[in-house]
């Protein structure tokens, strides 16, 4: 065998070993409990039926999609607007405000936990979708990243549009957003993934089971399964797979997106 091929096989094997906990999880999620405890193999979809049905994971899945989706869209909208202003306008206080946005990158989120809980309790938003979404929606990193990106776009494009009588919001929407789309897209994926995996805030803000996200639902299912030795592991693994899978799909999408970006850059 050529050393190249050998390398490829070695890489594949190493990758599979590294990911074996995930692969094993998916495998067990399709096994019956009896098969699992007796060491056999018996394919079934029952664990998924049980997780989605009896244990309400359809609901948690929907909650996760809704919350992460709104946080992503809202976060991107706010970040893009602010990034545009910081990149293109000089205005009194602009530098200070930008510094305040960048400084949020250094602020550890745990300091806001108790106060945000109290704020939401005061306005009656605990145990609501809004309570999950609002504290998570501002994203200083996205604003900073997009501002850097927009600064790289030639100003002449803006000016041409202004000459044609465009208003600032039209310049943003028609000129900047289309050009900055790769950057906006990758920030969107970043926000979506972080919010999807967010655990501590929903844990604090939600006690109503109907509003559980997948992360809370999975943690509860695992912890509340009675008895250390009689845990229904195939069911828990099905729930884990449900929690991981959307991000796995997203991951392959990002990979392709990245590859496309690289090859496009090479062709230009």
Question: Contacts with another protein in 110-169 (CB under 8 A)?
Answer: 110-119, 134-135, 137-138, 140, 143, 162, 167-168
* Closest to another protein by CB, 187 or 237: 237
For the CB of residue 52, give the shortest distance to another protein in the complex, in Å.
16
Structure tokens at 74: 């809202």
* Closest to another protein by CB, 47 or 116: 116
For the CB of residue 225, give the shortest distance to another protein in the complex, in Å.
10
Structure tokens at 223: 């912890």
> Which of 2, 54, 108, 266: binder of another protein (CB under 8 A)?
108
* Closest to another protein by CB, 223 or 268: 223
Cβ atoms 209, 131 nearer than 8 A: no
> Which of 2, 54, 89, 154: binder of another protein (CB under 8 A)?
89
Cβ atoms 114, 200 nearer than 8 A: no
Is residue 91 near another protein by the rule CB under 8 A? yes
Cβ atoms 155, 146 nearer than 8 A: no
> Which of 27, 33, 35, 37: binder of another protein (CB under 8 A)?
37
Binding region for another protein (CB under 8 A) out of 3-11, 42-50, 51-59, 174-182: 3-11
Is residue 33 near another protein by the rule CB under 8 A? no
- Binding to another protein (CB under 8 A): which residues in 235-264? 236-237, 240, 243-244, 247-248, 250-251, 255
> Which of 78, 153, 177, 185: binder of another protein (CB under 8 A)?
78
CA angle 194, 197, 201 (to 5 degrees): 90
d(CA 240, CA 217): 10
* Closest to another protein by CB, 49 or 100: 100
d(CA 119, CA 250): 34
d(CA 242, CA 25): 11
Is residue 11 near another protein by the rule CB under 8 A? yes
Q: Which residues contact 253 (CB under 8 A, 6 or more apart)?
A: 189
- Binding to another protein (CB under 8 A): which residues in 216-235? 218-219, 222-223, 228-229, 231, 233
For the CB of residue 214, give the shortest distance to another protein in the complex, in Å.
7
Is residue 47 near another protein by the rule CB under 8 A? no
DSSP state string for 157-211: HHHHHHHTT--HHHIIIIIIHHHTHHHHHHHHHHHHHHHHT--HHHHHH---GGG
Q: Which residues contact 157 (CB under 8 A, 6 or more apart)?
A: 175, 179
């Amino acid at each position: 065998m050529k050393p190249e091929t050998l390398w490829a096989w070695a890489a594949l094997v190493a990758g599979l070993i590294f990911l074996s906990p995930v692969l094993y999880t998916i495998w067990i999620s399709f096994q019956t409990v009896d098969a699992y405890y007796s060491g056999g193999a018996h394919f079934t979809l029952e664990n998924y039926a049980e997780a989605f049905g009896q244990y309400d994971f359809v609901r948690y899945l929907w909650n996760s999609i809704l919350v992460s989706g709104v946080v992503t869209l809202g976060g991107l909208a706010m970040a893009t607007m602010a990034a545009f202003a910081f990149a293109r306008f000089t205005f009194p206080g602009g530098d200070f405000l930008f510094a305040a946005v960048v400084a949020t990158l250094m602020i550890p989120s745990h300091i806001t936990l108790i106060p945000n809980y109290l704020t939401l309790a005061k306005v009656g938003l605990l145990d609501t979708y809004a309570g999950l979404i609002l504290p998570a929606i501002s994203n200083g990193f996205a604003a900073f990243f997009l501002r850097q990106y927009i600064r790289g776009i030639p100003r002449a494009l803006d000016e041409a549009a202004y000459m044609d009588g465009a208003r600032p919001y039209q310049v943003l929407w028609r000129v900047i957003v289309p050009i900055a789309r790769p950057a906006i897209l990758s920030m969107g994926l970043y926000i979506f993934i972080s919010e999807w995996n967010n655990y501590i805030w929903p844990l604090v803000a939600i006690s109503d089971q109907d509003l559980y996200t997948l992360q809370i639902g999975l943690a509860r299912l695992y912890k509340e399964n009675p008895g250390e030795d009689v845990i229904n592991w195939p069911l828990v693994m099905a729930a884990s797979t449900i929690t991981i899978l959307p991000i796995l799909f997203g991951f392959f999408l990002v990979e392709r997106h990245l590859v496309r970006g690289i090859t496009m850059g090479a062709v230009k």
